[in-house]
């Protein structure tokens, strides 16, 4: 069967399940807000335990990364992300999930060729282009202030 791109697009659009946009936005807002609220509560807890403002924020971030990695490892994070979508993926928890998921998926290939080689397949480009864009911005900023 030979069909044109336009015909295929019409067929695919007609066959695709429609996404409930309002429901997805509400889920992302609620879960993303909940994650941010937990981060704030952790920061306040760490300050109450004696950490200064700067350290409390860092420790709260590390705690969120740990919790997201743990939930990914035991299979809970994926169920939350299925409901919340970008609400879980935009905050720092999404980065933890992006690192842990490939490691889990490739652990059968061994520690070196599986986990070690593929752990940053999703997060690696984010790290690379984040650092690169930061360096370019820094150079532009430096040139503008000469």
Q: Mean pLDDT, the chain, as a whole number?
A: 86
Indicate if the pLDDT at residue 123 is higher than 80. no
Please state the pTM of the whole predicted model: 0.70
Indicate if the pLDDT at residue 24 is higher than 80. yes
| Top-confidence residue, 45 or 125 | 45
| Top-confidence residue, 27 or 112 | 27
Q: Tell me, what's the pLDDT at 100?
A: 84
- Asked if 100 and 73 count as a contact pair (C-beta separation under 8 A), the reply is yes
Confidence grade of residue 3 (pLDDT, cut at 50, 70, 90): confident
Report DSSP letters for 17-73, one per residue: PPP-HHHHHHHHHHHHHHHHHHHHHHHHHHHHTT--HHHHHHHHHHHHHHHHHHHHH
Q: In angstroms, rounded to a whole number, what is the distance separating the alpha carbons of residues 46 and 59?
A: 8
Residues 6 or more apart in contact with residue 35 via CB below 8 angstroms: 64, 87, 88, 91, 93
Q: Tell me, what's the pLDDT at 136?
A: 94
Please, what is the end-to-end C-alpha distance for the chain in angstroms? 63
- Asked if 86 and 97 count as a contact pair (C-beta separation under 8 A), the reply is no
Summarize pLDDT for 47-87 with one digit per residue, the tens: 999 999 999 999 999 999 999 989 988 989 989 888 888 88
Indicate if the pLDDT at residue 18 is higher than 90. no
Q: In angstroms, rounded to a whole number, what is the distance separating the alpha carbons of residues 80 and 74?
A: 12
Q: In angstroms, rounded to a whole number, what is the distance separating the alpha carbons of residues 19 and 132?
A: 35
Confidence grade of residue 1 (pLDDT, cut at 50, 70, 90): low
């Amino acid at each position: 069967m030979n069909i044109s791109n336009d015909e295929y697009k019409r067929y695919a659009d007609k066959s695709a399940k429609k996404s409930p946009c309002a429901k997805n936005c509400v889920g992302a807002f609620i879960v993303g807000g909940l994650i941010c609220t937990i981060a704030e509560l952790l920061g306040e807890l760490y300050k109450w335990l004696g950490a200064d403002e700067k350290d409390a924020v860092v420790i709260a971030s590390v705690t969120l990364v740990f919790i997201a990695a743990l939930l990914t490892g035991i299979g809970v994070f994926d169920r939350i992300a299925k409901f919340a979508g970008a609400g879980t993926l935009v905050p720092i928890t999404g980065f933890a999930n992006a690192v842990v998921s490939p490691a889990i998926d490739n652990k059968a290939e061994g520690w070196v060729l599986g986990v070690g080689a593929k752990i940053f397949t999703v997060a690696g480009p984010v790290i690379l282009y984040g650092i690169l864009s930061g360096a370019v911005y820094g150079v532009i900023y430096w040139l503008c202030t000469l």
